[in-house]
Amino acid sequence: MTDAATNAAHDVGAPGDPILVAIDGPAGSGKSSVSRASADRLGFGILDTGAAYRALAWIALQAGVDLDTEAAVVQLMDAWAFSITMRGEQRVTVGLAGAEPIDATAAIREHSVSGQVSRVSKHPVVRERLNEMFRELVAASGLPGVVIEGRDITTVVAPDAPVRILMTASAEARASRRAGELEGLSHAQVLADIAARDAKDALVVDFFNPAPGVTLVDTSDLNFEQSVQTVIDIVEAVRLPAGKSE
């Protein structure tokens, strides 16, 4: 499925696998930036699963595939190659069989791609295939720990992770953050985009009610440093007792 996965057959949470910190949350909740900073300070790797969905949507658009047809997207996945760095600056490369991989790091972040992601993420088989790829990437990472963030992480991808966090924030707070990141878009436009994306996401995932055993972190009234420290504190609370028992 991917070169990085090297066909690893480990289940997440098996002996010898990295310590997992699973973080779910809607767009604008801070999960991506907070997850990356937390991973760096913990000495862990970071797996941004949203980048894979973006990369799949991007390559499908490049190939002229109908994003709304599950069979067509799944067929594309049989031929695509995806790789992502888990330490340092994020680099994403995407390719199709018989073609040179392309550095799509910047392209997948374009606003035109963001609006298409839900068209591929809504397909159950696509999500199942990507979730399996995420498990393989983590198992083959060789890292002591991995913060894995995105959608379905706490409930489907890594339901047995020792740390599972649902990071959320009000729509207003998320719109304010995103408006500062996206040039040319007003707060009202970003708020409307977030509301539309929340509605689409709600059809396949619950980003606002934590599953049993998942810790809810609401960042609406937290600044960046406070959000990062909250995650680190949750991880250390789980790690320290284990360390003392060794």
pLDDT in tens, 2-18: 433 333 323 334 445 67
User: What are the tens digits of pLDDT across the range 87-138?
Assistant: 999 999 999 988 899 999 999 999 889 889 989 999 999 999 999 999 899 9
pLDDT band, very low/low/confident/very high, at 181 (cuts 50, 70, 90): low
The highest-level CATH class for domain 19-44+145-237 is: alpha beta
Which position has the higher pLDDT, 55 or 1?
A: 55
Q: Which residues are annotated as a binding site?
A: 25-33
Q: Which long-range contacts (CB under 8 A, 24 or more apart) does 200-203 make?
A: 200/118, 200/122, 201/26, 201/118, 201/121, 201/151, 203/122
pLDDT above 70 covers a percentage of the chain that reads 87
d(C-alpha 204, C-alpha 124), whole Å = 9
Domain 50-143: which CATH number of 3.40.50.300, 3.40.50.1110, 3.50.50.60, 3.10.110.10? 3.40.50.300
Question: SS3 string of 104-169?
Answer: CCCHHHCHHHHCCHHHHHCCHHHHHHHHHHHHHHHHCCCCCEEEEEECCHHHHHCCCCCEEEEEEC
Structure letter (DSSP) for residue 11:
P
Q: Where in the chain is the domain with CATH 3.40.50.300?
A: 19-44+145-237, 50-143
Q: What is the residue type of 15? A: P
Which amino acids are annotated as binding site for ATP, given as ranges? Answer: 25-33
